[in-house]
Amino acid sequence: ERVMTQSPATLSVSPGDRATLSCRASQSVSSNLAWYQQKPGQAPRLLIYGASTRATGIPARFSGSGSGTEFTLTISSLQSEDFAVYYCQQYDTRPGTFGQGTKLEIK
């Protein structure tokens, strides 16, 4: 099973600043990686798939990069609605596994 490790667990950033979230896979997952955003009481929402392709309707301030074992989600200029928990997910090898999440909070 591929273990996905996200860092940091909590990230405090000011509105308007850039946020960089990391996700590391225990073995290569190629580019088979997705990112999700989850707000309290809501279902996860797909942001990125294929490591770097934005899902439909996702603002351009969200970008993904990486391949193999190291991945990054960057939010270029944080808006108030971006403060949430973010999860990465590998879908390269069964079972598809998620990281434990990074909570992005207002500084």
Partner 1 sequence: EVQLLESGGGLVQPGGSLRLSCAASGFTFSNYAMSWVRQAPGKGLEWVSAISGSGGSTYYADSVKGRFTISRDNSKNTLYLQMNSLRAEDTAVYYCAKGYYTSSSLSWFDPWGQGSLVTVSS
Q: Judged by CB under 8 A, how many residues of this single chain contact partner 1? A: 23
User: What mask, x for binding partner 1 by CB under 8 A, covers residues 85 to 104?
Assistant: --x-x-xxxxxxxxxxx---
30 CA to centre of own chain: 16
Does residue 72 sit in helix, strand or coil? strand
Q: Does 13 bind partner 1 (CB under 8 A)?
A: no
- Amino acid identity of residue 58, one-letter, is I
Cα–Cα distance list, 59 to 71, 76, 91 (Å): 19, 10, 23
Q: Does 45 bind partner 1 (CB under 8 A)?
A: yes
**Beta strands 85-90 and 33-38, pairing class:** antiparallel
Closest CB to partner 1 among residues 69, 89: 89
Q: How far apart are the first and last CA of the chain?
A: 35
Closest CB to partner 1 among residues 69, 97: 97
Q: Does 66 bind partner 1 (CB under 8 A)?
A: no
Residues near partner 1 (CB under 8 A) are 32, 34, 36, 42-46, 49, 55, 87, 89, 91-101
